[in-house]
Amino acid sequence: MYRFLASTRWVGWLLMVMVFAIVCAALSWWQWDRRAEVSAENKQVAANWDATPQEGEDAVALFSDLPSDKEFLPVRLRGEYLSDATLFVRQRTLSSALGMEVLVPFRTQEGTIVLIDRGWMKNGDGPVQEPEDVPAPPSGTVTITARLKAGEPDIGRDAPEGQIASIDLAGVAQRTGLDIAGSAYGLLASEELAPTTRPAPRPKPEADEGMHWSYALQWAAFGVLFFVGFGYAARQQARINREDREAAAEAAANGGVLQHSARRRQRTKVIKPRRDGALHDEEAEDALIDAEERRGNDVTSDSLAAGTQQQR
């Protein structure tokens, strides 16, 4: 019954189904990996966010070489802000509002310069949208607490003078001319002699894994459905082939007249009558076939009668 599956056409369809299924499987695994990454980050935030701050040279060293398990860990630093090198990071949102983050280099008492994100401010009304009335950081020697965050990649976008598109630490060092530690920057948590107003601090990341789990299952289901659809199509083709063989056999046994009526009798679907009394397409087709069969039988009867009269 399924010998047709070895044909070139059906083999081609099967290969196409397999390609689509492989793509769906790859997308499903990608979503699982993304879910695992988000889950690991959530656990790390929970473990490090409120931990006891590290201090001294060990804390400063983390800005130059940040292990993945130390991200969001608080560190306590003592030094001074280099406010003349302040930069603004564009296209940052907070509570669905668009603004910028305020970055200020900080020279520690150990001599290392690190980058501190002092918080978020909404865009200004000027042509370059730079925030207005930005609170100045404390002057002189201060002690601050910041949470470590890995630097961001360079996304290749230009920005106006004094602004950057991402927290690319190498790019910040080049823009400011300062030897800034290149592995991590700090999210400001608290500082001594803090001004009355300050940029809004970065909130704690929500422990939400998003829709990755659901998307992974959906892509896996799509991959399975391709094979289900192929199996259904093959079964339908096998049924059609069987009906054709049965109809051909009955037609051969009856002189080739009953081919259509034989297939019509094999229908098992119950057709409900229309409310307006009109015939369905299948009913109209059956009526036409019946008329053709009656016309053929009448012609045959007339021919037999004419032959009988000639013999007389």
pLDDT of residue 279: 57
Residue-level pLDDT at 228: 93
Distance (Å, whole) CA 106 – CA 110: 11
The ranges assigned to domains in the chain are: 51-191, 225-311
The predicted structure's pLDDT at residue 105? 97
Question: What pLDDT, on a 0 to 100 scale, did the predictor assign at position 286?
Answer: 66
Residue found by looking up tokens 């530690």 in the block: 181
Give the orientation angle of helix 8-48 with respect to helix 212-253, to 10 degrees.
160
Q: What is the pLDDT of residue 6?
A: 87
pTM of the model: 0.65
Q: What is the pLDDT of residue 296?
A: 54
pLDDT number for residue 35: 85
Mean pLDDT of the chain: 85
* Contact status, residue 199 vs residue 118, Cβ threshold 8 Å: yes
Q: State pLDDT tens for residues 236-275.
A: 988 888 888 888 888 787 765 544 444 444 444 555 566 6
Low-confidence stretches of the chain (pLDDT < 70) are 255-312
Q: Which pLDDT score, from 0 to 100, does residue 203 have?
A: 87
